[in-house]
A = this chain, B = another copy of it.
Amino acid sequence: MPVAEVARRMLDTYPREFSLDRDLLVRCIEACSDCAESCTQCADDCLGEEMVQDLTTCIRLCLDCSDVCTTTGRVVSRRTGFDPAVTAAVLTACIAACGRCAAECEIHAAHGMEHCRVCATECRSCEQACQDLLAAI
């Protein structure tokens, strides 16, 4: 089942009210999940390339981005005791990590690295989803 559907079903059963826009929240959870996965795999794909020496910055930024997206997805998924300032700071960090990782992947995508092209798209989607949720807090 898509993570978005899991997230939506779980939010529908949440026992309290919550004020955040449900669609923006589901979109952000899904984007964080997608981007964490694409970054984990892109780092590993880079390790599998013959020219791994040229991809070390990309690997590092993918590892950072995967960690930050995983944490962001968890923080935004929690509704009880919601804190706007912490959530905003974490979304801001995720926007930075996704934007920087996307920019690096786009360089390698332009030189024919297909996994970097797919990963850059996921990073840009996650950057946007975090910006949209941040604007709604």
Contacts and interface: CB of A to CB of B under 8 A. Distances in A.
B75 A68 contact: yes
Interface residues of A, number: 73
B83 A13 contact: no
For the complex formed by this chain, how many copies does it contain in all? 4
Main secondary structure of the interface of A (DSSP, over half): helix
Contact of A59 (B12, B75, B81, B95): B81
A40 B86 contact: no
Given A3-B3, A68-B86, A89-B93, 14 more contacts: A3-B37, A6-B38, A10-B37, A14-B48, A44-B60, A57-B81, A60-B78, A60-B80, A60-B81, A61-B81, A66-B74, A67-B74, A86-B97, A90-B97
